[in-house]
C-alpha cells in the first residue's frame, strides 16, 4: 500500500514538472518563430530601402553626367516603380512613373509605341488608389497613342478600343464619376468605332479576295 502511494506521489510530482517543461518549450518556440518572422520582415524592408537608395544613386549619377533627361534614367525609374508597388507606396510609384513618361516623351516623342508600357503602369496605379478621373484620362491617352501607332481603321486598334469601352461601361455600372449621359455617349461612340473598323476591314478582305480570284 505504501509502494502504491509512493508511485502516485511520484506521478503527481512528475506531471506538473513535465507540463511546465512543455509549456516553457512552446512559449520559447513561439517567441523564436515570431522573432524569425519579424526579422525576415525587417530584412526585407531594409533590403528594399537599400535597393531604392541604389536606384536613386544611379539616377543622380546619370543626371550629373548626362543631364536630367537622359533616357537611361527611365529604366531606373521603372525599376523603382516596381519596388514601390510591392511596398504599397502607390503615390511614390505614381510620381516616378510620371517622371519616366515625361523623360521618355522628351527622347522619343509623343507617339512612341514604347511608352505604352509606362501608361499601362500608370493605369494600374490609378486603379489602386481609386483615382478614377486620372484613370480615365490615361485610358484616353492610351487610346490616342494606339491610334497614332496603328492607324484609325486598323484591326490592331480593336483591343485598345474594346478595353476602353469596357472601362466606360464599368464607370456607368458603378457610378464612379461624371454624368451618366455623357459616359454612355462615350461608350456608344467607342462601339461605333469598333463596328466601323470591323466593317472596313471585312470589305477590304472581300475586295482582295475577289481581286485574287479574277487574277487567277
Give tens-digit pLDDT for 9-45: 544 444 454 444 444 444 444 445 454 445 455 555 5
123 burial class (0-12, 13-18, 19+ CB within 10 angstroms)?
buried
For 181-192, what is each residue's pLDDT tens digit? 999 999 999 999
Rounded Cα gap, residues 197 and 212, in angstroms: 22
pLDDT value of residue 15: 46
Phi, psi of 25, deg, nearest 5: -60, -45
Domain ranges of the chain: 41-109, 130-216
- What is the predicted pLDDT for the residue at 203? 86
State the Rg of the chain over Cα.
31
Instruction: Measure the CA–CA gap between 74 and 81, rounded to whole angstroms.
Output: 11
Q: Output the pTM of the full model.
A: 0.74
What digits encode the pLDDT tens for the residues 81-111?
A: 999 999 999 999 999 999 999 999 999 999 9
Rounded mean pLDDT, 52-64: 95
Judge whether residue 119 has pLDDT over 90.
Answer: yes
Amino acid at each position: 500500500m505504501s509502494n502504491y502511494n509512493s508511485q502516485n506521489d511520484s506521478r503527481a510530482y512528475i506531471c506538473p514538472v513535465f507540463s511546465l517543461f512543455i509549456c516553457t518549450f512552446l512559449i520559447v518556440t513561439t517567441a523564436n518563430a515570431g522573432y524569425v518572422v519579424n526579422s525576415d520582415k525587417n530584412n526585407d524592408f531594409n533590403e528594399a530601402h537599400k535597393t531604392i537608395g541604389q536606384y536613386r544613386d544611379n539616377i543622380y549619377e546619370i543626371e550629373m553626367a548626362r543631364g536630367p533627361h537622359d533616357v537611361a534614367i527611365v529604366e531606373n525609374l521603372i525599376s523603382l516603380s516596381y519596388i514601390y508597388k510591392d511596398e504599397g507606396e502607390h503615390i511614390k510609384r505614381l510620381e516616378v512613373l510620371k517622371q519616366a513618361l515625361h523623360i521618355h516623351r522628351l527622347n522619343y516623342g509623343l507617339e512612341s509605341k514604347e511608352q505604352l508600357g509606362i501608361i499601362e503602369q500608370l493605369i494600374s496605379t490609378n486603379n489602386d488608389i481609386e483615382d478614377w478621373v486620372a484613370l480615365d484620362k490615361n485610358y484616353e491617352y492610351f487610346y490616342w497613342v494606339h491610334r497614332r501607332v496603328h492607324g484609325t481603321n486598323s484591326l490592331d486598334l480593336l483591343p485598345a478600343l474594346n478595353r476602353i469601352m469596357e472601362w466606360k461601361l464599368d464607370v456607368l455600372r458603378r457610378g464612379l464619376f461624371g454624368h451618366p449621359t455623357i459616359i454612355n455617349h462615350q461608350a456608344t461612340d467607342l462601339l461605333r468605332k469598333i463596328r466601323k473598323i470591323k466593317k472596313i476591314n471585312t470589305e477590304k478582305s472581300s475586295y482582295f479576295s475577289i481581286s485574287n480570284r479574277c487574277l487567277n
